[in-house]
Amino acid sequence: MPDGTQPPTGRVVGDVIMKVENVSLSFGGVRALDNVSFDVREHEILAIIGPNGAGKSSMLNCINGFYHPQEGAITYKGKRRDTAKTFEAAEEGIARTFQNIALFKGMSTLDNIMTGRGLKMKKNLLWQALYYGPALKEELEHRAKAEEVIDFLEIEAIRKTPVGRLPYGLQKRVELGRALAAEPDLLLLDEPMAGMNHEEKEDMVRYILDVNDEFGTTIVLIEHDMSVVMDISDRVVVLDYGKKLADGTPDEVKRNQDVIDAYLGVSHD
Amino acid sequence: MDFLQAVFVTPFVEIWESPFFFIELVLVGLSTGVLYSLVALGFVLIFKASGMFNFAQGAMVLFAALTLVGLMEHGVPLWAALILSMAVMVVLAFVVERLMLRYLVNQEGLILFMATIGLNFILEGTGQLFWGSDVKRLEIGIPDKPFDLGPILLNTFDVTAAFIGAALVVSLAIFFQKTPMGRALRAVADDHQAALSVGIPLKTIWIAVWTIAGIVALVAGIVWGAKSGVQFSLSLIALKALPVLILGGFTSVPGAIVGGLIIGVGEKVAEGFWGPAFGGAIENWFAYMLALAFLVFRPQGLFGEKIIERV
Amino acid sequence: MFYREAGQFKTTYADDQAVFPILQDKIAVLAVIAVAYSVPLFANEYWLQAILIQFLVFALMAIGLNILMGYAGQVSLGTGAFAAVGAYACYKLTTNIEGLNVIVAILLSGGFAAAVGIVFGLPSLRIKGFYLAVATLAAQFFILWLFNKVGWFYNDNPSGTITAPPRELFGVQITGPAATPEARYIVCLTFLIVGAWIAKNLARGRIGRSWMAIRDMDIAAEIIGIRPLRTKLLAFAISSFYCGVAGALMVFCWLGSAETEAFDLAAVSFPVLFMIIIGGLGSIGGSILGAAFIVLVPIFLTNFPPMIGLEISTALQKHFEEIIFGAMIVIFLIVEPEGVARLWQILREKLRKWPFPY
């Protein structure tokens, strides 16, 4: 263990793979993010917490390239990300789930997960039109990969069900599956446990930890359930009104006076 | 070269040389534009109140005008025919709500749009089934006499039409902004379920707005019909309201008016001065191409608001 | 009772992903194709010429529109224009290039239509839904005006029409006045079968999934790496290709000669839209069923009333037709937005269990 940054979770954390530096984003007059900076290190689980409207989702949207911050820089694997297009995020190995489920409602679970494999499929239009030879072989290889994800998330039974008909908890799981199918290096999870009951949360936590553990995926998650956040994350970034309040291990954050004030609403002047 | 000359030089020279012809074209364009605005208004009303892009508005214009003319042909006096036609449009609003809208609550915009294409065909078919498909003249006593205003030739009919349009627009604007019903309409447009949950009676609102749209269609049908006869092509003219909406924005009453005028003037002037360069009849597509150019550069229209997408 | 899949186990992913995973379906489809090819043996000329060829051409067009609207979710009212591009391109190609195989010419025409489709698809990056419908209306009006105005497109023919020149395939005339309806029917049928098969392949592979992803939730699609512009333009291109090929067949194998009116909104764009709404958005088989339905209703209206002793004028008949189509659209959208294809699926589910309730 090189320095004091080694988290209590016992995970071996690598180098910084993404740097967020002085990022500011505003819509008209509203300042959604104000001079936010933090690092993400390889293989860690980083939680972003903060009250509603603190700019957590906006932060993920900036990393994704869905919003482009007016100021500051986001560097991912040595490349600037803040000006890149949304689809380029996926090409560079960033996958994402959403706060309000954003599945493809008209498609089956399997097809949804297969869309996550899309970037890895290379056969051109003509082979696809024939659905034969190399194209068929490719399709089947990726089907096998998709089935691994289905296996991993224990959703075999709903493979062919249109996702629009699934209950909320399962939809969340399928959405995670779609992101995992892309074999991302960095996984952004926007409130993966929102609206779930206790057991569903336990399942979800288990999947997140397994993904991190088995595939070495770096995870940035937004979550409101403090016990979960404190349990599984290596580091926590706290946002409030678009500004970063604190950044550190769960224990450090818990003791931080600004954070306590923001959460308990104490004013100190 | 010749073509470029005909597009970029000659028209401007001509405008410079015959400014009165240009002004006349603008005025003719304005009077056509008022009619486009009238049709577009019906679209905007329904879009505002139900988020539904009512493709059938054109057919409603035809249907209303056919009903009026049909009644008059059977010897019903004008005033009675007007009242009866209005009654027919009210009944239509009830029927549409009862048989169609209430089953389509909360459907996606695209489904609603396609449903109104269906309604469009039903109305066109029914209107012509009852009243026949030959061209009918509509005499409602608007004087149609040319008169001179200085060096410019004007027409009493066009002026009257413009006044009718203006009166209708003003009363609608007042209705939307100042009455409780208008406010309820805007609430419904924003979110069906939310409006229902605060106790706005969705069905009543829909019937009301379709009735208003029906009456607007009747007015548009009367003016159009008196100008060029009541016939099937009325519902095609209504297709011109689509580019008007693109220009003006789907939810803006003033947008519909200004958009209509721009399209009306634009296509008359384009036909008059640029038409020869393209071999004529560019009126058919000019409005759409203008709208298309607009879509690429300002998708929200002249008066629409920019939408921020969230995830 | 005969429609059971019990005992048919799928042991590979390939089996599971087949178009017709159930043996009975495979047999049924092969049987339908066999019957379709033997139709010329017993159908009369009226049926072939007026009904079946028309149906085949429209079915191909409906598949094209369904790729764009049903799969990629982009509204188009410009079907007629893209078909016209195909028809006029094919006319120019066959009349100007000596010895060009007519099948090659038809496929090339599809390519021209695809190029035009891409141009008018460009606004789709920025606009959605009925806004896009207006953009495609621009294509519809502009292109038909262009073909009407510029003599070059119809070889400055004084009548302003394009006429299919006589061309042969394997020594048999398949276009022009001397071609038999049987030969033209077989050509159209082959185009439809191959077209439907390719469309199905595209729809069930990566490309089809990216179309549907864009349709269902474009933002999420982009975030998992689907390029929106490229995907939408591909849908426009392929859809227009189908429409263009169908347009070329429409003139060369069905009508024989045509003017721009043959491709206008009421003649092509709306009927084809109705076919896919009734048949089922996002279903290749549905497109074909929908085309059959829309082609048959007018035929029924012409033939049925006289059979029960009613004489109705053609104008009246046209109005009835409009009302019936309109009502069907509304009813389908309310009752079963997924169209006949979905009804068929439900029927099959029932059949699998029959005679047991579940």
% residues pLDDT > 90 (chain A): 7
Query: What does chain B come to in residues?
Result: 311
The pLDDT value given to residue B207: 85
Spatial distance between the Cα atoms of A229 and A224, rounded to a whole number of angstroms? 8
* A61/B311 CB distance under 8 A: yes
Kindly provide the b/e burial profile for residues A129-157, where b requires at least 16 CB atoms within 10 angstroms of the residue's own CB. bbbeeebbebbeebbebbeebbebbebee
The pLDDT value given to residue A1: 35
A123 in contact with chain C, both atoms CB, cutoff 8 A: yes
Kindly provide the b/e burial profile for residues B58-83, where b requires at least 16 CB atoms within 10 angstroms of the residue's own CB. bbbbbbbbbbbbbbbeeebeeeebbe
**How close C179 comes to chain A (CA, Å)?**
31
Which of B134, B288, B290, B296 to substitute to test the interface with C, most C CBs within 10 Å? B288
Tally DSSP H helices, then E strands, for chain C. 15, 4
Establish if C247 belongs to a structural domain: yes
Per-residue pLDDT tens over the stretch C3-15: 666 666 677 777 7
Amino acid at C268: V
Per-residue pLDDT tens over the stretch A188-235: 999 888 888 888 888 899 999 998 888 889 999 998 888 888 888 888
- DSSP string of C336-347, one letter each residue: -TTHHHHHHHHH
Which of C193 and C158 is assigned the larger pLDDT? C193
Instruction: Please state which of the ranges A119-123, B114-118, C49-53 shows the lowest mean pLDDT.
Output: A119-123
Per-residue pLDDT tens over the stretch B5-30: 766 777 777 777 777 777 777 887 88
The tally of CA atoms less than 13 A away on the side-chain side of residue A55 is 27
Confidence band, pLDDT 50/70/90 cuts, at residue B245: confident
Q: What is the dihedral of CA C251, C84, B234, C326, to 10 degrees?
A: 70
Residue A79, beta-bridge partner list: A76
Which of C321, C322, C328 to substitute to test the interface with B, most B CBs within 10 Å? C322
When pLDDT is averaged across residues C126-150 and rounded to a whole number, the result is 81
Location of structure tokens 């495979």: C26
Residue of B nearest to C140 (CA): B285
The pLDDT value given to residue B3: 67
Peptide bond into A162 cis (omega under 30): no
The pLDDT value given to residue C60: 94
Per-residue pLDDT tens over the stretch C252-284: 888 888 888 889 888 888 889 989 988 888 888
Sign of the alpha-carbon torsion through C229, C235, C236, C238: positive
A6, containing H or E segment: none
For B152, list phi and psi in degrees, rounded to 5.
Answer: -105, 135
Which of A18 and B184 is assigned the larger pLDDT? A18
Which of B231 and A162 is assigned the larger pLDDT? A162
Sign of the alpha-carbon torsion through C83, C85, C86, C92: positive
Spatial distance between the Cα atoms of A253 and A238, rounded to a whole number of angstroms? 8
The tally of CA atoms less than 13 A away on the side-chain side of residue B44 is 32
% residues pLDDT > 90 (chain B): 1
- DSSP string of A54-123, one letter each residue: SSHHHHHHHHHTSS--SEEEEEETTEE-TTS-HHHHHHTTEEEE-SS----TTSBHHHHHHHHHGGG---
State which of A120-134, A199-213, B217-231 shows the largest mean pLDDT. Answer: A199-213
* C215/A147 CB distance under 8 A: no
Per-residue pLDDT tens over the stretch A11-26: 777 788 888 888 898 8
Instruction: Tally the domains of chain C.
Output: 1
Domains and CATH numbers, chain A: 1-93+184-269 (3.40.50.300), 104-169 (no CATH)
Location of structure tokens 């030739």: B153
Instruction: Please state which of the ranges A56-65, C130-139, C186-195 shows the lowest mean pLDDT.
Output: C130-139
Q: Which domain holds residue C255?
A: 42-353
- Judged against a pLDDT cut of 80, whether residue A103 lies above it is answered with yes
The tally of CA atoms less than 13 A away on the side-chain side of residue B24 is 16
Neighbours of chain C (3+ CB pairs under 8 A): A, B
**How close A74 comes to chain C (CA, Å)?**
17
When pLDDT is averaged across residues B178-185 and rounded to a whole number, the result is 78
C134 in contact with chain B, both atoms CB, cutoff 8 A: yes
Q: What residues of A are in contact with residue B308 (Cβ under 8 Å)?
A: 27
Mean pLDDT of chain C: 84
A237, containing H or E segment: strand A235-240
Confidence band, pLDDT 50/70/90 cuts, at residue B142: low
Location of structure tokens 């036609």: B85
C217 in contact with chain B, both atoms CB, cutoff 8 A: no
**How close B108 comes to chain A (CA, Å)?**
13
Residue of C nearest to A111 (CA): C209
The pLDDT value given to residue A4: 41
Instruction: Please state which of the ranges A111-115, B295-299, C296-300 shows the lowest mean pLDDT.
Output: B295-299
A100 in contact with chain B, both atoms CB, cutoff 8 A: yes
- Judged against a pLDDT cut of 70, whether residue B305 lies above it is answered with no
Which of A85, A91, A107 to substitute to test the interface with C, most C CBs within 10 Å? A107
Residue of A nearest to C211 (CA): A115
Spatial distance between the Cα atoms of B149 and A80, rounded to a whole number of angstroms? 66
When pLDDT is averaged across residues C231-243 and rounded to a whole number, the result is 93
- Judged against a pLDDT cut of 50, whether residue A5 lies above it is answered with no
Q: What is the CATH number of the domain that holds C230?
A: 1.10.3470
Q: What residues of A are in contact with residue B310 (Cβ under 8 Å)?
A: 57
Give the three-class secondary structure for C77.
coil
- Judged against a pLDDT cut of 70, whether residue B210 lies above it is answered with yes
Confidence band, pLDDT 50/70/90 cuts, at residue C145: confident
For B75, list phi and psi in degrees, rounded to 5.
Answer: 85, 10
* B311/A27 CB distance under 8 A: no
As for the ipTM of the complex, it is 0.84
Establish if C309 belongs to a structural domain: yes
CATH pick for B2-297 out of 1.10.3470, 1.10.10, 2.40.360, 1.20.1540: 1.10.3470
Establish if C322 belongs to a structural domain: yes
Which of C93 and B164 is assigned the larger pLDDT? C93
The pLDDT value given to residue A256: 84
Location of structure tokens 């899949």: C5
Confidence band, pLDDT 50/70/90 cuts, at residue B303: low
The pLDDT value given to residue C223: 86
Instruction: Please state which of the ranges A175-179, B297-301, C181-185 shows the lowest mean pLDDT.
Output: B297-301
The pLDDT value given to residue C194: 92
- Kindly give the interhelix angle for B253-269 and B156-178, rounded to the nearest 10 degrees: 160
Neighbours of chain A (3+ CB pairs under 8 A): B, C
